Structure 1
C-alpha cells in the first residue's frame, strides 16, 4: 500500500498554475486570545501621560481596517520619514549585502510591512540561493496578505513563501518559531530582519531584542533597521514628535485600532504627539488620545463592556524612538550581539541641518565568533 501524499504537497501542485490570488498562511495563535489582550489593555488605569490604557505594538496593525490605514499612510507624500526610509534602505543594504549574499540564507521577515524592503532583499539573495525560503512573520494576517504580494509580483516563487501569523514579541512564540524553522531548514542559515524602526515601537526594546537574539544560532544573522539621532535634548524630542504630526494619514492610522474595535468617536484634535528624552540616550515619542472634552467619555470595548475615560485620561496609541549610538551600543552588548556591519545616514529632505537619520545593522550572535567590522567600530565609538 502506497503512502498517502501529504496535503501540502498536493496543494502546491494544485495552486501552481492557478492565476487566482491564493495565499497560504500558517496560523500560530488563537485570535480570540489577541482580542482578549487588546480589551484588557484598554482597561488600564487613569493616566495623563499615556502610561495607563494603551494599544501595544502589533495591535496597531491588527485587522483589515488598521492594515489599510497603514498602507495609506506609507503612500502619503507628506509622510517624509517613510519616504526617506525607503530611499536610504536600498543604499544601506548595498553596503551590507556582501556579508550575506553568498552564504545561502533563507529570509525570516519579522514585521512584514508593505513588503517593499523584502522585495529588494529577496531579489539579491536569490541570485546566490534560488531555493531560498521567504518566511514573513506578523501578528496581522491581513498585513501578511498585503506584504507578500510585493515580492511575488516581482517574480519570487509563490511556492517558496510561507507567511506565519505570530506575535513575535512573546518569548514562547519566538522559541517555538525558532524550533520550527530549524526543523524546516536544517543547518542552513537564516537571515532574520527587523526593519522600519519596528524595535522602537515596543515599551521594552531591550527585552524584545533579547527575545529575538535567543533564537539565533551561530550561523544566523539579524538585520536591524532603526531611526537615529545625533542630538538628545527637548528641542530634538519635540522635532521628532512633529515629524509624525505632519501627515493626516498617519493620524488616521494610529487611531484606526480604536475606530474598528471600540465605539469611541475619534477627533484628530484629541490626538497628541509628545516627545521626550529617554534614559539620556534616546528620543521617545508617544502618540496619545487624550480626553480634553471637558467631561467624562464612555467607551464600549470589544466584549461590550464599558470603561469610563475621565477628563485628562489618555490612551497610548503608538510608541516610537530615535536612537543614539550609545543606546544602540548598550542594547547590542546587553543582548550579546556583534555588529558585523553598520551603515548610517542623515535625512536629506530638509534645508537646515537635521539630527535625524537611519541606521542599518547586520548583527551576529556572540557564539558566531564574528569580529566586529572596522566601520562598526567607528560608529560604536564613544
Structure 2
C-alpha cells in the first residue's frame, strides 16, 4: 500500500495555476485569546495622560476594519512621513543589500505592512537565491493577506515559496517557537529578519521587543531595522513630531479604527490628542490617545458585552511612536548585543524649513557573528 501524500504537498499542486484569490496562512495563536487581551487592556485604570486604558501595538492593525483603515492612511498624499519613508527605502536598501546577496538568505518579514518594501527586498534577493522562502509574520491575518499580494504579484515571487504566519511576535514564547520552526524549515541556511516602517517605535518597551527578536538570531542571521530618527531633542521638535501625525485625517481614522470596530464608543476626531514629549533624553515620544472631554461620564461596551466606565478626563491610548537619536539607537543595540554591519541615514526633504527628522536603516548582526569590517555604522555611532 502506497504511503499517503501529505496534504500540504498536494495543496501546492491543487492551487497551481488557479486564478481564484486563495490565501494560505499558518495560524499560530488562538484568536479568542487575543480578543480577551484587548478587552482586558480596555479595562485599564483611570489616566489623564494615556497611560491607563490602551490599545497595544498589533491590535491597531487587528481585524479587517483596521487593516482597511491602514491601507487608506498609507495611500493618503497628506501622510508625508509614509510617503518619504517609501521613497527613501529603495535608496537605503541598495546600499545595504551587498551584505545579504550571498549565502542563500531567506526572508522573514516581521510586520508585513503594505508589502512594498518586501517586494523590493525579494526582487533583489531572489536573483541570488531562487529557492529562498518568504515568511511574512503579523498578528493580523487580514494584514498578511493584504501585505503579501504586493510581493507575490509585484515581484512575481512563487506562491509555493511563501508561508504567511499569523503570530504576535512581541511575545517572547511566540518568537521562541517561531525560531525553532524556522530552524527546522531552513536548517543552517541564513535568515534575514526585517522590522521596517518604524515598527519598533510602536511598542511601549522598544528595548524589550528588540531583545525578544535578538534571542532568535543565530550567528549567520541578520536583522534589518528601519526607524524614524531625529537630530534634535527638545519640546519644539517633540511638538513637531506629534503634528506630523495630526496632519492627515486618514491617520486619525486608522488609529481610532480598533475602538470603532470592537466597542460602541462614538468617536469624534476632536477628542483625539496628539502629544509629543522628550523621552529619556534620547528620543522623541508621540502618544496618541482619545480623551473624554465631553463633560460627562461615558459607558463603553467592550467586546465581551461588559461595560467600562470612562470618567471625565479619562483616556484610551490608541498609538505610540517615536523618533530616535543616534544615542538611543546605540544604547538599544548594545543592550541587545547587536553589532551594526551597516547603517544608512537620511533627512526628510519635504519641508521648506530645515527639518530634524529622517530615517535610518540598519543591518544588524548578533554579537560575535564575525562581521568586523569598518562601515558607515562606525562613523554614525562615533557621533
Which residue is equivalent to 1:36?
36
Which residue is equivalent to 1:324?
325
Which residue is equivalent to 1:291?
292
Q: Please give the alpha-carbon distance, in whole angstroms, between the structure 2 residues aligned to 1:373 and 1:212.
A: 25
Q: What SS does the aligned partner of 1:287 have?
A: strand
**1:210-268 Cα deviation digits (max 9, x unpaired):** 00000000000000000000000000000000000000000000000000000000000
Following TM superposition, where does structure 1 have runs of at least 4 consecutive aligned residues deviating by more than 4 angstroms? Answer: none
Which residue is equivalent to 1:111?
111
In structure 1, list runs of 5 or more residues that go unmatched: none
Query: CA shift at 1:120, angstroms?
Result: 0.2
Which residue is equivalent to 1:253?
254
Q: Please give the alpha-carbon distance, in whole angstroms, between the structure 1 residues aligned to 2:251 and 2:4.
A: 51
The 5 A counterparts of 1:68-79 are 68-79=68-79
Which residue is equivalent to 2:245?
244
1:191 aligned to 2:202?
A: no
Query: CA shift at 1:22, angstroms?
Result: 0.6
**1:76-106 Cα deviation digits (max 9, x unpaired):** 0000000000001000001001111122110
**TM-score normalised to structure 1 length:** 0.99
Which residue is equivalent to 1:53?
53
Q: Please give the alpha-carbon distance, in whole angstroms, between the structure 1 residues aligned to 2:374 and 2:336.
A: 18
More displaced stretch, 17-26 vs 135-144 = 17-26
Which residue is equivalent to 1:125?
125
Which residue is equivalent to 2:223?
222
For the 8 Å contact 1:41–1:54, the answer to whether it is kept is yes
Q: What SS does the aligned partner of 1:210 have?
A: helix
Which residue is equivalent to 2:137?
137
Which residue is equivalent to 2:212?
211
**1:359-382 Cα deviation digits (max 9, x unpaired):** 000000013122163310111113
For the 8 Å contact 1:339–1:373, the answer to whether it is kept is no
Query: CA shift at 1:335, angstroms?
Result: 0.3
For the 8 Å contact 1:44–1:53, the answer to whether it is kept is yes
Q: Please give the alpha-carbon distance, in whole angstroms, between the structure 1 residues aligned to 2:113 and 2:374.
A: 29
Which residue is equivalent to 1:267?
268
For the 8 Å contact 1:168–1:174, the answer to whether it is kept is yes
Q: Please give the alpha-carbon distance, in whole angstroms, between the structure 2 residues aligned to 1:17 and 1:65.
A: 30
Q: What SS does the aligned partner of 2:368 have?
A: helix
**Backbone CA RMSD of aligned residues:** 0.6
Query: CA shift at 1:23, angstroms?
Result: 1.1
Which residue is equivalent to 1:15?
15
Q: Please give the alpha-carbon distance, in whole angstroms, between the structure 1 residues aligned to 2:112 and 2:71.
A: 12
Q: What SS does the aligned partner of 2:294 have?
A: coil
Which residue is equivalent to 1:341?
342
**TM-score normalised to structure 2 length:** 0.99
Q: What SS does the aligned partner of 2:13 have?
A: helix
The 5 A counterparts of 1:92-111 are 92-111=92-111
Q: Please give the alpha-carbon distance, in whole angstroms, between the structure 1 residues aligned to 2:110 and 2:100.
A: 18
Q: Please give the alpha-carbon distance, in whole angstroms, between the structure 2 residues aligned to 1:122 and 1:178.
A: 21
For the 8 Å contact 1:229–1:322, the answer to whether it is kept is yes
The number of equivalent residue pairs is 382
User: In structure 2, do the counterparts of structure 1 residues 367 and 3 end up closer, same or farther at CA, with 3 Å as the change threshold?
Assistant: farther
